[in-house]
Chain A
Amino acid sequence: MTQLRRHLRQTLTIARRDFVATVFTPIFLLFLFAPLIMASFGAVGGMGAASASDSSAARTRLVVLLPAAKARRVLDADARWRPLLAGDSRQPQVEARAPAPDPARQAAAALAAGAHGHDTVDVAAVLYGPLDRPAVLYAAGSRGGARYLAGLARDAALAERAGTAPAAATLTAVQTSAPSQGVRKATGFFAVFGIFFLTLFLSGQVAGTMAEERNNKVIEVLAAAVPLESVFLGKLVGMFGVAVLFVTFWGVVISQLGALLPGDIGDSLRTLAPAVGGGWFALLFGGYFTMAYLLLGSVFLGVGAQAATMREIQMLSLPITIIQVAMFALSSAAVSHPGSWVAMLAELFPLSSPFAMAGRAASDSALWPHAAALAWQALWVAIFITVGARLFRRGVLQSGSPTPAWKRLFNRR
Chain B
Amino acid sequence: MRSMVEGGFHKRCTVGRTPSTTGFAGGPPPRRAGRICAGATPPFRAGPGARARLGSAATRGRRVADNGIAVSAEALVKRYGERRVVDGVDLVVPEGAIYGVLGPNGAGKTTTLRMLLGIIEPDSGKRRLLGSDAPRDVGDRVGYLPEERGLYPSMTAREAIAFMGALRGLEWRTGRARAAELLEAAGLGHAIDGKIRKLSKGMAQLVQLLGAVVHRPDLLVLDEPFSGLDPVNQERLEALIRAEQARGATILFSTHVMQHAQRLCDRLAIIARGQRRFEGTVDEARALLPQHVHYVPHRADPAIAALLPADARSDGEGWRFQLPPDGIEAVLTRLIAAGHGIAGLSIERPGLHEAFVRVVGEQEARA
Contact indicator A400/B80 (Cβ below 8 Å): yes
- A224 lies within 8 A of chain B by Cβ: yes
Contact indicator B146/A402 (Cβ below 8 Å): no
Contact indicator B119/A218 (Cβ below 8 Å): no
Q: Given A13-B166, A17-B163, A400-B80, A225–B139 Cβ distance below 8 Å?
A: yes
Pick the residue among B79, B123, B147, B167 that contacts A226 (CB under 8 A): B167
Pick the residue among B144, B149, B150 that contacts A219 (CB under 8 A): B150
Q: What is the bound-complex CA distance between A14 and B152, given in angstroms?
A: 12
Contact indicator B119/A216 (Cβ below 8 Å): no
Task: Report B-chain residues with C-beta under 8 Å of the C-beta of A411.
Answer: 121
> What 1/0 mask marks residues of chain B from 72 to 83 whose CB sits below 8 Å from any chain A CB?
000000111110
Pick the residue among A9, A218, A227, A402 that contacts B136 (CB under 8 A): A227
Task: Report A-chain residues with C-beta under 8 Å of the C-beta of B123.
Answer: 401-403
Q: For chain B, give the interface size range.
A: 35 or more
- A170 lies within 8 A of chain B by Cβ: no
> What 1/0 mask marks residues of chain A from 1 to 27 whose CB sits below 8 Å from any chain B CB?
101001001100110010001000100
Task: Report A-chain residues with C-beta under 8 Å of the C-beta of B309.
Answer: none
Pick the residue among A10, A212, A402, A403 that contacts B167 (CB under 8 A): A10
Tell me, rounded to whole Å, the shortest Cβ–Cβ distance linking B318 to chain A: 52
Contact indicator A217/B150 (Cβ below 8 Å): yes
- How many chain A residues have a CB neighbour from B under 8 Å? 34
Contact indicator A224/B152 (Cβ below 8 Å): no
Q: What is the bound-complex CA distance between A17 and B152, given in angstroms?
A: 10
Tell me, rounded to whole Å, the shortest Cβ–Cβ distance linking A12 to chain B: 9
Chain A residue nearest to B212 (CB atoms) is A221
Most buried by B among A14, A224, A401, A402: A224
Q: Given A225-B139, A226-B167, A402–B119 Cβ distance below 8 Å?
A: no
Contact indicator A224/B117 (Cβ below 8 Å): yes
Q: What is the bound-complex CA distance between A213 and B136, given in angstroms?
A: 20
Q: What is the bound-complex CA distance between A399 and B211, given in angstroms?
A: 25
Contact indicator A6/B140 (Cβ below 8 Å): yes
Contact indicator A225/B144 (Cβ below 8 Å): yes
Pick the residue among A3, A213, A221 that contacts B146 (CB under 8 A): A221
Most buried by B among A212, A216, A225, A403: A225
- B164 lies within 8 A of chain A by Cβ: yes
Task: Report B-chain residues with C-beta under 8 Å of the C-beta of A219.
Answer: 150
Q: What is the bound-complex CA distance between A25 and B78, given in angstroms?
A: 42
Q: Given A218-B152, A220-B150, A225-B164, A401–B119 Cβ distance below 8 Å?
A: no
Q: What is the bound-complex CA distance between A389 and B80, given in angstroms?
A: 19
Contact indicator A398/B120 (Cβ below 8 Å): yes
Instruction: Jot down 30 A-B pairs with beta carbons below 8 A, ordered by A.
Output: A1-B169, A6-B140, A13-B163, A13-B166, A17-B163, A21-B154, A217-B150, A218-B150, A218-B152, A220-B119, A220-B146, A221-B150, A221-B164, A221-B208, A221-B211, A223-B119, A224-B117, A224-B144, A225-B144, A225-B167, A225-B168, A226-B139, A397-B119, A398-B80, A398-B120, A399-B121, A401-B78, A402-B81, A402-B82, A402-B123
The 4 A-B pairs at the shortest CB distance, nearest first, are namely A217-B150, A399-B120, A220-B146, A218-B150
Binding site for A on B (CB under 8 A): 78-82, 114, 117-121, 123, 136-137, 139-140, 142, 144, 146-155, 163-164, 166-169, 208, 211
